[in-house]
Amino acid sequence: MANLCSCHLTETVSIDNLNEVFRSFLRLYKAVDRNELKDTLKHWYLNKMDEMDMESVDLDKWEADSMFDINVRKYKTKLRA
């Protein structure tokens, strides 16, 4: 299921819904209680951030949406430049 969700999230990411998609991903990540599945999701996330040349946020220490919002704003500015 996680692979299906990850693929769907990947397909639906756009500059306009980036925050929403990754907040959904974070809810999925936090809901998982199996370490091996969490590791797989974390690996997907880190790869996605690398692909997008975007700074990643530590998923286990993610305290507020503002942490990711700052990175999204930086990414949008980079894309528009």
Confidence band, pLDDT 50/70/90 cuts, at residue 24 = confident
How is residue 24 written in tokens?
């959904």
pTM for this entry: 0.65
**34-60 residue pLDDT tens:** 999 999 999 988 888 888 788 787 887
pLDDT at 4: 43
Please report the pLDDT score of residue 10 as a whole number: 55
Distance CA 64, CA 13 (A): 20
Rounded-to-integer distance, Cα 41 and Cα 38, Å: 5
Q: Are the beta carbons of 39 and 9 closer than 8 angstroms?
A: no
Burial environment of residue 40 by CB neighbours within 10 A (0 to 12, 13 to 18, 19 or more)? middle
pLDDT band at residue 80 under the 50/70/90 scheme: confident
The chain-wide mean pLDDT, for the chain, equals: 76
